[in-house]
Structure 1
């Protein structure tokens, strides 16, 4: 171990030897930083906003790397997968740890593509804060709104960074305004760009003004951006109007903070001059309003030009929370009992597995966030979700694709466990000798897949490798589903989108070296019953290998509608089990199992019986009678069960429940449902007509609304005024350039089947100027002609 100095900070350096080449990389030891000096943050944004580019600069300036990686060249630390480097996009979230100002930062770089939204979801679930990166040219884009809504669900404090301020058409003020009205937040501008004309009349970004300490920051002396020049801003500054604009910006910032923070209000009322309120007081107020979610500090820069990144990392430390600043996580012990998980090292261990990846050499690598206690090497754990004992073989600290073996993971930190055999995304881990065996942290919401493809091995010898590869991929990505069609025997793999399944195909062939064939893209439909209440009693009686199995069940099936209230159990259904001592009847005694003799005869508890019934119903709901798609929108009430002594085993009860539901639906009025997507399209006004025509014509879309971009939150109930810095009319010297008119936003419901390939079509229709996002809205009933066409297509073979 050798020591290295960067500025005033001494940072440990680790020696990594590969292929006779020695690399030195900085790392943060687990023991070096207290929980109050830890920041668990994520980078979230629309695709191509500059997340990975910004992260690469963070790593370089913190001393982790000695060169700046480039997305276009495929040399970044964070995008280490072959598929990421080939496409120039982030596909899987990557975790890395580095030090800054004697703070430990655990950073997760997340994907921006809608197909990989589950990566954002499970990352945000364990983060304490986030940096939202915005494209200064495009403003608040479609996927930005999606990831912002995900962060809102978990109440994650955020700061914003307006990137690409060096590009033609960049408009900082417009982007701040869109944050207010598209994201429904209160942006607090902490920096403004310094724009200067060159000899040719072009507008150039030459620095930024820090409104808190009224200094101009520029990076002109070092092309790599390592050296920052800090110049006090006075009225003598050569750029006309910059000083006055900065005074206005700082005054507005202090005034807005005083409306949100009581301590700042006292300072505001007592100060003779708002400019004399200290930088430290302003920072503390800004931190408080950020942590409680009242506002979002906004910074600016151009990461590719190495401008503005160091102040952004400072803002992460100054304004985003440590684990101690976040609300205490609540875990459930039972349906009506919960417990607080205190972020202390001397508490009992409680950790959440939020991601699993498969490594060819190390096997399954489980990413965990430790919420309390300490996770030691070689500790024996208990998975409370699957009720399974697990043993830790190694603990690792991740540096994207590099690792450092560590001895423990302390409360508030993120690390990786090697050796867990069965743990999945969303599982809660405690120490094996902990008595709280039912303790569970809030799970991670996994969206339902909407596309599927057939996958089959190239030959018999490839079936086992394909099965193992699919098992590993499924464990890595919980948004993927795999099941075998019972009629055709084909294996179907379902995912979030075209690119999602394309990446799966690529990984099967290249990473797992499996010789497999994948069929064309298909839509995952649903089946349901309409206008039909069904009361049904079913007797199951069968002899298997000389053993007689028998059970009888009575149930009522009622169709549900989209707007029905109440809880739903599985796949949009409501399963009600009214199984008590009075409704479970023993045939031998012809009475409820209310006495000791009957209980001994059956030898099953009511909980075991209920679980068997539930399992049987779920298995039947997974495959409908029309085309074998999952059944949805049913209320299933099991109101009695007749048992036949030793013949009524758990298997008999489960099979009886499954076949009862299948038998009840035979010959009923069943229909196919197709997925309907909420589609939001940002389109320039000149292309509005052609996009609407395509949407309502061939794509069978239903337009719900049309509005001007930037007016999405016009009805926001917030009287706080925000400071919006002025934008130059345009950045280019070309006299033909015009001010870009605000885009129009189309809101529509569109069948998913017509949205295949829409990304390419939209680019073609609008010259690449439009963008869209879509999410599953509901499942709508198909008309008869469309349903018949789908049935003919599906029955004709995959």
Structure 2
């Protein structure tokens, strides 16, 4: 993992070369690397999709996932976090700790993923190790332990010399080691074992220096990966448990799922359970060995598998027994949205199908379709992602498209509690169902939780499931059109008509409740409850760090005020604070002129905050259950 252009993909090439997997090192600039396999990646020189390679270090097999560094493709990084045994965070020895580096490290620390830091580009002019180590301690972690020194910095002869140290940092987490450290020097073998144990527990973070281009320090890094990152656990004869973290399409359009297996094994022709009551038959299997995916009859625990035949599988699906922490979201969702329009109106259907296939590979694109206006909305992390989607539609699907201006995505949070109920056979309820719902605020970041305030035996489970699914679907658009988050929805009332038949045993739908009744009534009841609870519209805020010349402070502060930025701390040449996400782009555009091109801006999503003034409205793309007449005209075709 790394900030874009830190040299992560070049380091992957060097590790493959050192392991004997490839005979020649590819170049990112030439588009000849193993992991940047997409034509678009080769043209742009950046990683867009995560890629898997495998190699051996001694008796240890390493499955390496090379992830994108550009913040627009953070969703690719998120999907692999739940399948890792450890991580290598690459930092440029020239640029130092950058915005994405901090975002990634915060997440790795929060998830307690064992992490090694590799300071790259020590052969480049401007490389500095002492300054980068200070940045690491200040901005990433105070528990970083340099495992050697770099010499001849900024020259092709730059090298890394490994030595064990960090006894003082290790002693902070080990009382016996602290006693030995105070009494006398700690033997190297004691340091090595303590370092391995504390790295595996994510208590400390070893730091290596080197160059992916010259190979300096890469052998030492390889040894560090083998010695310090914990090996995979899980028995192949245990019940199957795995997670799908990537989906791609083969040459014939067939779906291919990438899955990390934690326990158990998968064989060709196995029937795999996934999601609720879903199952698929595996038609082919491949495992990653010696750099590439090799066809196999079986893939076992600890390996990464490519699976064919699972047509309904989705990213994030768990196969077999659930694995811990596989369905959590670690980064902020996209905060931007745009409308994509085909240049040729006759290609609307083809565009919809193409975007659905892209959303299959990146669910956070989050397609929203407005049938009334015949428009498709996409969620985005940034303008580069929009450019990549445009190029992909042109290259892979032959579709020319244009995008409307990008807008910011807000969310809605309930202001208080509200409830509503509609009873079966009582006006104005036209559905054969009783549904009562209560909406309550929930802690920030908790999402949406559906609860039952009644007995599960009060009616068939399928009707409860219809209500729960419809609640989640309906809350994608709240009172102001934004997704509703951080709330608990409790079902308080239920009722139905059992299946009715005539004497000749034919089913009488007009006198029997169906799932459609509950799906039709739930949005009306839920939005009535939400209207009584009220909602607050919240916009995304970014945390920013601004480095500027001292004499630029005068013109920069008024700009920050005009953009509604709130500085929290201010030091010599550095301003930190929060700014609305919608204003970040304008700050980036105006900063060079105010700082003679010397201003450096880092920003990343921090939180959602209630907007001041009238709440912004978002156009609805559903049947609008806030307008009963309009809704029933669409759903029931009658009032």
Alpha-carbon separation, structure 1, partners of 2:178 and 2:484: 57
Please say if 1:502 is aligned against 2:387: yes
Deviations 1:313-369 (A, max 9, x none): 121112111113xxxxxxxxxxxxxxxxxx012212211111112233362221111
Structure 1's 322 and 263: CA in aligned 2 closer, same or farther, altered over 3 A?
A: farther
Report the counterpart of residue 409 of structure 1 in structure 2: 299
Cα deviations by residue, 1:714-736 (Å, 9 ceiling, x for unpaired): xxxxxxxxxxxxxxxxxxxxxxx
Residues 1-50 of structure 1 show CA distances to partners (whole Å, capped at 9, x for unaligned) of xxxxxxxxxxxxxxxxxxxxxxxxxxxxxxxxxxxxxxxxxxx1212111
What does the per-residue CA deviation read over 1:93-113, in whole Å, with 9 as the maximum and x for residues that have no partner? 111011222431111111112
- For residues 255-313 of structure 1, the C-alpha deviation after alignment (integer angstroms, 9 at most, x for no partner) is 54455456756876887x66xx35x5443332122112221111112222332212111
Q: Which residue of 2 aligns with 1:288?
A: 197
CA distance in 1, matches of 2:554, 2:32: 42
Distance 1:643 1:101, change over 3 A: closer
- Which residue pairs with 2:464 in the alignment? 610
Q: Distance in 1 between matches of 2:485 and 2:108?
A: 29
Classify 1:642/1:345 alpha carbon distance in 2 versus 1 (closer, same or farther; 3 Å): closer
Of 455, 474, 484, which residue of structure 2 is paired with 1:580?
455
* 1:21 aligned residue: none
User: 1:476 and 1:706 mapped to 2: Cα distance?
Assistant: 42
Match of 1:550 among 432, 435, 445: 432
Instruction: Could you tell me which runs of 5 or more consecutive residues in structure 1 were left unpaired when the two chains were aligned.
Output: 1-43, 197-201, 213-249, 325-342, 431-435, 585-592, 594-603, 709-742, 792-798
Q: How far off its partner does 1:762 sit?
A: 4.4
Question: Which structure's relative contact order is higher, taking Cα pairs within 8 Å and 6+ residues apart?
Answer: 1
Q: How do 1:587-626 residues align onto structure 2 when only pairs under 5 Å count?
A: 604-605=459-460, 607-626=461-480
- Give runs of aligned pairs for residues 228-377 of structure 1, distance below 5 A: 250=165, 253-254=166-167, 256-257=169-170, 260-261=173-174, 277-278=187-188, 280-324=189-233, 343-361=234-252, 363-377=254-268
Contact 2:143 2:204 (C-alpha < 8 Å) held by counterparts = yes
Partner of 1:660: 525
CA distance in 2, matches of 1:69, 1:97: 16
- Asked if the contact 1:428–1:441 (Cα under 8 Å) also holds between the matched residues in 2, the reply is no
For 1:239, the equivalent position in structure 2 comes to: none
Q: Secondary structure at the match of 1:126?
A: coil
TM-aligned CA deviation for residue 116 of structure 1: 1.4
Indicate if the aligned counterparts of 1:462 and 1:515 stay in contact, CA closer than 8 A: no
- Show CA shifts across 1:182-238 (max 9, x none): 223412121101238xxxxx97753222224xxxxxxxxxxxxxxxxxxxxxxxxxx
Residues 369, 377 of structure 2: 8 Å contact kept: yes
Aligned pair in 2 of structure 1 residues 400, 354: CA closer, same or farther (>3 Å)? farther
Distance 1:640 1:469 in 2: 42
Alignment check: 8 A CA contact 1:569 1:575 kept: no
Match of 1:148 in 2: 105
Q: 1:522 aligned to 2:402?
A: no
The CA distance in 2 between the partners of 1:303 and 1:557, in whole Å, is 54
Query: Would you say the 8 A contact 1:674–1:781 is kept in 2?
Result: yes
Name the structure 1 match of 2:310.
420
Deviates more, 1:645-654 or 1:55-64: 645-654
Unaligned ranges ≥5, structure 2: 500-511, 620-639
Q: Map of 1:128-167 to 2, 5 A cutoff? A: 128-167=85-124
After superposition, residues 478-497 of structure 1 pair within 5 angstroms as 478-497=363-382
Instruction: Classify 1:344/1:665 alpha carbon distance in 2 versus 1 (closer, same or farther; 3 Å).
Output: closer
- Cα gap change, 1:541/1:523 in structure 2, threshold over 3 Å: closer, same or farther? farther
3-state SS of 1:616 partner: helix
Counterpart for residue 387 of structure 1 = 277
**Does the CA-based 8 Å contact 1:674-1:782 persist in structure 2?**
no
Query: Closer, same or farther in 2 for the Cα pair 1:745/1:123, shift >3 Å?
Result: farther
Rounded to whole Å, the distance in 2 between the matches of 1:449 and 1:421 is 27
CA distance in 2, matches of 1:285, 1:680: 37
What are the Cα deviations for residues 116-148 of structure 1, in whole angstroms up to 9, with x where unaligned? 112112222111111111122232222111111
Question: What residue in structure 2 maps to residue 77 of structure 1?
Answer: 34
TM-score by length of 2: 0.84
Of stretches 312-321 and 768-777 in structure 1, the one that deviates more from structure 2 is 768-777
**Counterpart among 422, 445, 452 of residue 538 in structure 1:** 422
**Aligned counterparts of 2:249 and 2:606: Cα–Cα separation in 1:** 29
C-alpha distance 542-508 of structure 1, shift in aligned 2 (>3 A): farther
**Aligned-partner SS, 1:45:** coil
Structure 1 residues 348 and 178: CA distance shift in structure 2, 3 A = same
Aligned residue number for residue 583 of structure 2: 754
CA RMSD of aligned residues (A): 3.3
After TM superposition, the score normalised by the length of structure 1 is 0.69
5 Å-filtered alignment, 1:159-198, equals 159-195=116-152
SS at match of 2:363: coil
Question: Structure 1 residues 535 and 760 mapped into 2: Cα distance closer, same or farther (>3 Å)?
Answer: same
Q: 1:567 to 1:399 in 2, by over 3 A?
A: same
Q: Which residue of 1 aligns with 2:492?
A: 639
Q: Is the 8 A contact 2:412 2:535 kept in 1?
A: yes
Confirm or deny: 8 A CA contact 1:454 1:519 kept in the other structure: yes
**Is the 1:344–1:373 Cα contact (8 Å) retained in structure 2?**
yes
Q: Is the 8 A contact 1:527 1:670 kept in 2?
A: no
1:648 matches 2:513:
yes
Q: Is the 8 A contact 1:624 1:630 kept in 2?
A: yes
Change (3 A) 1:758 1:663: same
How far apart are residue 567 of structure 1 and its match?
Answer: 8.5
Counterpart contact for 1:137–1:170, Cα < 8 Å: yes
Q: Are 1:781 and 2:611 matched, yes or no? A: yes
State the SS of the aligned residue for 1:617: helix
Q: Distance in 2 between matches of 1:282 and 1:456?
A: 61
Assess if the C-alpha contact under 8 Å between 1:674 and 1:752 holds in 2: no
Which whole-Å deviations, capped at 9, do the CAs of 1:587-619 have from their partners, x for residues lacking one? xxxxxx6xxxxxxxxxx42x3333222233333
Partner of 2:18: 61
Match of 2:570 among 693, 706, 709: 706
CA 1:409–1:773: 2 relative to 1, 3 Å? farther
Q: Residues 194-233 of structure 1 correspond to what in structure 2 (within 5 A)?
A: 194-195=151-152, 206-212=158-164
* Selected match of 1:442 from 325, 330, 341: 325
Q: CA offsets, 1:77-104, max 9 Å, x none? A: 2222222222222111111011222431
SS of match in other structure, 2:364: coil
* TM-aligned CA distance change 1:403 to 1:556, over 3 Å: closer
Match of 2:286 among 381, 396, 399: 396
Matches within 5 A, 1:729-768: 744-748=574-578, 750-756=579-585, 758-762=587-591, 765-766=594-595, 767=597
Distance 2:400 2:152 in 1: 56
Equivalent residue, structure 1, for 2:625: none
Q: Would the aligned equivalents of 1:114 and 1:773 in 2 still touch at CA under 8 Å?
A: no
SS, match of residue 605 in structure 2: strand
Is contact 1:623-1:631 (8 Å) kept? yes
Q: 1:357 to 1:639 in 2, by over 3 A?
A: same
Q: How does 1:86-105 map to 2 (within 5 A)?
A: 86-105=43-62
* Number of aligned residue pairs: 602
Measure, in 2, the Cα distance between the counterparts of 1:664 and 1:350. 40
* Matches of 2:168 and 2:529, distance apart in 1: 67
Q: Does the CA-based 8 Å contact 1:525-1:672 persist in structure 2?
A: no
